[in-house]
Structure 1
Amino acid sequence: MRIEELTLEEWEDEFPADGFGVFHRPEALQVLEEYWSGRLLLYGGYRGEQLVGLMPLFVRTIAGVTAVLSPPPGFSVPRLGPILLPASPKPHKRERTNREFVEQVLEKVGADDPLTLVGTVATPAYADPRPFRWHGFDVEPRFTYSIDLADRDIDDVMMSFSKDLRTEIRDAQELPLTVSVADVDAAAFVYDRYQDRFEEQGLSMPTSRDFAIDLVHALGDHARVYVVEGPDGERLSGILVLYSDEVAYSWMGGTPAYYEGTSVNGLLEKHLMSDILTEPELESIVAYDLGNANKEQLVEQKSKYAPELVSHYELKSGPLMSVAKRVYQELTY
C-alpha cells in the first residue's frame, strides 16, 4: 500500500459514492479549511491504482506541539476520521487494509513523536478501531441516536414515538403553524436561537455564526434549513439538516419553542422525516441522525423518538490529547 497526499480537487475526484459522513464532503472540508488556523492534510491509500482508504486531518502547531485532529475542534463537527474502501469483501483482507492504512497514515504524521498528538472521532461506518489501539491509542466508545427510515412511511415511524410525543405532534397539527424549507439565509435565525440556548445554560457556543452559514451555503442541496412559523409569519424554531449519501443529520437547532403552550419541535421533526420518506431527491436517505447520545440531560427528550443507539469511537494518542483539544478550541477563532 502507498499513501498519497491529495489536493481538495483530487479528493473530490476520488470521493466514494457511499460510506462517508457529511463532513467528508469536499464542500464541507473546504469551508473547514478556510476557518481552521492551520493545515488540512488529505491522504489517500492505494493498492496499485485502487483507492482503499481516505483520511482528512487538520494540523496545527503551537509552542512546539503539533496536534493532528479529525475532526478539528471548535466547529461542531461531531465525527470525521477515516473512510475505508477495501477492494475485497473478505474479512481478513478488510482487516489488513484497515491495519496497513492506519499504520501508514500515522507514520506520515509522525504519531510516534512525543510532541505530536493525534486524535479522531470516527463515524459509525468505521467499526474496527483496533489498529489505533495496537498503536497505543486510547479507544473510547461514543454514542449517537439514529432513526431507521428504510422501507417505512411516516405513520409507521410515528407509531414508534412515545405517547406524549405523538400527542404533542397531533396538538401542534391543530394549530395555525407552517413548517417549510426556508432559504439558506434562514440559517442565521436557527444559529441565533441555538446560541441563545447555550447562553441560557451558561455555555459558550462552540461554533461561529459565519462558519455555520457558510457551511450551509457550500453544501447546497446537501443541506436544508427547516423552520416552523406562526400565523403571522414569526419564526418559532428551526433545524439545520445536513445530508450524506444515506443519512440526514440534525446538526443545529431544535431549541425549545412553543405556540399557545404547545411545543412545536415534534411537528418540525415529523415534517422533515416525512420529506425524507416522500421526496425523490432524498430517496437515498435511510436514517435520520438525532446526534449526541452521550449527555444524560439530552437522552430523555431524544429517546421519545424511539431511535437506535449507535456506537462509534473516539481515538486519542494519549492523555494529553483532551487538554490539547481544549486549548486548540480556544484558539480556533
Structure 2
Amino acid sequence: MVVEIVQDKEIWDRFIDESPYGLIFHKWEFLKIVEKYSGYTLYPCGVFRGDILIGVFPLYYKRNMAFKAIFSPPPQSGIPYLGFVMSSEYNGLKQDKKEVFLNQVVDEINDYIELASPNYVSISTVSNFIDIRPFKWNNFEVVPNYNYVIHLDEDLDSIWNGFKKNLRKQLSRPEILDLRLVPSEDMSLFYNLAKQRYEEQGLTYPIYSIEYLEDLFRVYPNHLRLYYLYYGDDLLGSITTQEYKRYILWMGNTRIPDNIFGNEYIIWHLIQKAKEEGYLNFEITGANKKNLCQFKTKFNPTLEICYNVCRKDTLGKLAETTYQKFVRKAG
C-alpha cells in the first residue's frame, strides 16, 4: 500500500459516493471551500493498493512559525467529523481481513503525517466507525464522542409510538399548528442570529464567515439545506441539514418559548421529510452534554459513537491551551 495525493476530482467524488462512510463533508468541492476559507492547505490523501484506491483521508496542514498542525477537519469549519473513508469493499471482509486492511491504511497515513513532524494532530472520525485501535497502536489519544440516530426503516406510526409519551402530547398541542418550517436560501439571517447567540455567551462564533457558508450551500444546494422556523409571522430560529446518504441535523440556532415546543416540531417535521425521501438514518448530532441528552432521548434514538484521535507534543499542548483560553472566547 502507498499514500498518494489524489489530483482527480472525479475519482475522489466517485469513491465518496460509493463508500458507505462518505458524507457531503468529504466531497471534493466542500473540501476545497474549507481550504479557501481556513487558511490551511488541503492534502487529499488516497491510500492505494496497486492501482486500486481503497481509502481516502483529507488532511489539512498549517505552519505558523515553528508550530505545525494537521487537522481533519480544521477548526471553525463547522464540520462535525471528517477523517478517513474506507472503500465499500471493507464492510464485506471477514474480521481478520478487516484488521489487516485497516492497520495497513492507518500505518501508511501515520507514516505520511510523520513526514511533516507536526506538533499537533487532531482527527475526528465518522460516526459509527468503531475500530480506532490502529490509531491507539500508533500512539494517538482516543476520545469518544456520541451522536443520536433514529432509524427510519420502520413506518411513521411505529416511529411516532416510540416517542416518549409527553413528547407525543407536546406535538399534538394546538400551538403546533401555528408553526411553519420554511426552506430558504438566505444565509445572512441564519449567520447573524447564530453569531449574536454566541456573542451573548461571550464566545466567538466558530465559523469562518458568512461567505464560507454561502459558498457551501451554493455548490451543494440539493444536499445542504437551510430552514427557518416561524410561529405565525414571528421568526423563532433556524436549522441547517446535511441530506446525503443520511439525514443529519447540522447547525442550528433557536430561541423558542418553552410552551411552543418548536424544537420538537423541527425534529418531527424533518423526520417525516427524511422518511418520505427514502433516508434510512436520521442523525441528531451531539449527545455529549447531559442537559441536551435529556431532550434528545425523547425521540427514542439509538446511540452512535465517533472518535477524536489526537497527538500532541509539548508545543502542541501549549497551543491547545492557548486556543481554548483566548481564541474561542470573544474579546
- Shorter-chain TM range is 0.7 to 0.9
1:302 paired residue number: 296
Residues 1:160 and 1:97: Cα distance change in structure 2 (over 3 Å): same
- Percent identity (aligned): 27
CA distance in 2, matches of 1:236, 1:300: 22
What is the CA distance between 1:24 and its match in structure 2? 0.9
1:98 paired residue number: 102
Residues 1:201 and 1:297: Cα distance change in structure 2 (over 3 Å): farther
Q: TM-score scaled by structure 2? A: 0.87
Matched residue SS, 1:79: coil
What is the CA distance between 1:116 and its match in structure 2? 3.5
Q: TM-score scaled by structure 1? A: 0.87
Gaps of 5+ in 2: none
Does the 8 Å contact 1:230/1:236 carry over to 2? Answer: yes
What is the CA distance between 1:323 and its match in structure 2? 4.9
Residues 1:239 and 1:196: Cα distance change in structure 2 (over 3 Å): same
Does the 8 Å contact 2:180/2:229 carry over to 1? Answer: yes
Residues 1:160 and 1:13: Cα distance change in structure 2 (over 3 Å): closer
Gaps of 5+ in 1: none
Deviations 1:184-228 (A, max 9, x none): 22x333333333332333332111333233222222101122222
- Map 1:1-333 → 2, pairs under 5 A: 1-7=1-7, 9=9, 10-17=11-18, 18-85=20-87, 86=89, 89-110=93-114, 113=117, 115-153=118-156, 155-171=157-173, 174-180=176-182, 182-185=183-186, 187-207=187-207, 208-232=209-233, 234-245=234-245, 247-258=246-257, 261-279=259-277, 283=278, 285-318=279-312, 321=316, 323-325=318-320, 330=327
Does the 8 Å contact 1:44/1:55 carry over to 2? Answer: yes
Residues 1:222 and 1:307: Cα distance change in structure 2 (over 3 Å): same
Q: What amino acid is aligned across from residue 21 of structure 1 in structure 2?
A: L
Does the 8 Å contact 2:120/2:313 carry over to 1? Answer: no
Does the 8 Å contact 1:146/1:289 carry over to 2? Answer: yes
CA distance in 1, matches of 2:240, 2:192: 12
Does the 8 Å contact 1:38/1:58 carry over to 2? Answer: yes
Residues 1:13 and 1:263: Cα distance change in structure 2 (over 3 Å): closer
Matched residue SS, 2:221: helix
CA distance in 1, matches of 2:272, 2:195: 27
What is the CA distance between 1:32 and its match in structure 2? 0.7
Does the 8 Å contact 2:142/2:310 carry over to 1? Answer: yes
Q: What amino acid is aligned across from residue 96 of structure 2 in structure 1?
A: H
CA distance in 2, matches of 1:45, 1:287: 28
Matched residue SS, 1:126: coil
CA distance in 1, matches of 2:181, 2:198: 24
CA distance in 1, matches of 2:27, 2:321: 25
Does the 8 Å contact 1:8/1:42 carry over to 2? Answer: no
Does the 8 Å contact 1:84/1:126 carry over to 2? Answer: no
Matched residue SS, 1:292: coil
CA distance in 2, matches of 1:220, 1:130: 37
CA distance in 2, matches of 1:29, 1:158: 37
Higher mean displacement: 302-311 or 13-22: 13-22
Deviations 1:103-152 (A, max 9, x none): 11121122683x44222010124321111111111111111111111233
